[in-house]
Amino acid sequence: MADPIKIRATPQGEFTEIRILLQHPMESGQRKDPATGRTVPAHFIQTFVVSVNGKPLVDGQLNTSVSKNPLFAFKARGLKAGDKLQVSWADSNGEKRSDEAVVSN
């Protein structure tokens, strides 16, 4: 299974800053392995979902142009300390990962 998703959510006034690090190799399928000269097969996150207390906040799609271990940062209104954030992804090889964090003070 993939490495854990790193999630940080910190209230800043009426907004909460959310930072999410998805640990994934994100291979585009265009790079060649220097040792063998063969093309490294594509392996990338296709879907990405962020939910708060079970309600979707972000529902997105990624593609091969996103870098290794992508970091997403954004602000959301209406979250409070103790709210539960769920982050999940599914990739082009059928692998999935889901993790949770609680909004801190």
Bridge-based pairing of strands 15-21 and 84-91 is unpaired
Does some domain include residue 38? no
Domain of residue 81 covers 6-28+43-102
**pLDDT over 90 (residue 4):** yes
CATH number of domain containing 96: 2.60.40.10
Band of residue 1 on the pLDDT scale cut at 50, 70, 90: low
Is 1 a domain residue?
no
pLDDT digit string (tens) for 29-72?
Answer: 999 999 999 999 999 999 999 999 999 999 999 998 899 999 99
Q: Does the residue 14 lie in any domain? A: yes
As for how many domains the chain has, the answer is 1
Which CB contacts under 8 angstroms, 24+ apart, belong to 16-19?
Answer: 16/75, 16/76, 16/77, 16/79, 16/103, 17/73, 17/74, 17/75, 18/50, 18/72, 18/73, 18/74, 18/75, 18/76, 18/85, 19/71, 19/72, 19/73
